[in-house]
Amino acid sequence: MQHDSGSFEVEIKLAAASPADGEARLRRAGFQPLHERAFEANTVFDTPALELIQSGRLLRLREFLGEALLTFKGPPEPGPHKTRREIETRVADGAAMQALLEALGYQAVFRYEKYRTAFARGGEAGHAFLDETPIGCYLELEGPPAWIDQTAAELGFVREDYITLSYGSLYREHCRKAGIEPAHMVF
């Protein structure tokens, strides 16, 4: 949905047993890759008091496929899908953007990396992503809620499998279960 203040992103994550499992599920459902598997680096910024994170908001600088993107996400709305206001723009120079954010008083508080492959089926409103992270493999479905539900079912998942947590939250939960101190989710 487009709004003057950005758009609303609707998504879920689904845990896949492995990258091969995730890709096989997508291909069986008729999805084709939009690009080769590519490395993605993300840096989350916040105030020293973590005001954004504590209010459920996100300010992220992403570098992927030779581009840098600055993204703001609002707090998630309640529901079975993760729905948040999103404002995103390409920036010409990721390092300069980071310096600008730091000059404004923001600091890098969390870094996370993944290998991502985007998939699509012709003429459909949604996209699927295969994300390989240091804590596991996930399929991310992004699009209209009905498309997400139908696609998740086609991939062999039920609503109880839906994950609406951020990668930061998944990482902190992973560290808690493993009894390790959280740092950054990097390879």
* pLDDT at position 96 over 70: yes
| CA separation for the pair 154, 119 (Å, rounded) | 15
Does residue 99 carry a pLDDT above 80?
yes
The class (CATH top level) of 2-178 is mainly beta
Tally of helices (H runs) and strands (E runs) in the chain: 5, 10
Banded pLDDT at 91 (limits 50, 70, 90) = very high
Give the pairing type, strands 67-73 and 58-64: antiparallel
Span 14-24, mean pLDDT?
98
Query: For residue 53, is pLDDT > 60?
Result: yes
Give pLDDT, residue 21: 98
Closest CA to 118 of 136, 109, 130: 130
CA distances from 177 to 11, 132, 180, 182 (A): 25, 20, 8, 11
Helix, strand, coil percent content, the chain, rounded in steps of 5: 25, 40, 30
For residues 3-18, average pLDDT: 86
Q: How far apart are alpha carbons 155 and 171 in whole angstroms?
A: 24
Q: Is residue 3 exposed (0-12), middle (13-18) or buried (19+ Cβ within 10 Å)? A: exposed
pTM: 0.93
Average pLDDT over residues 89-117: 98
pLDDT of residue 2: 39
Does the pLDDT at position 4 exceed 60? Answer: no
Note whether 143 and 126 are within 8 A (CB): yes
Would you kindly state where each structural domain of the chain is located, as residue ranges?
2-178
Residue 5 has a pLDDT of 55
What tens digit of pLDDT does each residue of 143-164 get?
999 999 999 999 999 999 999 9
pLDDT, residue 3, reads 40
Mean pLDDT to the nearest integer, 69-76? 97
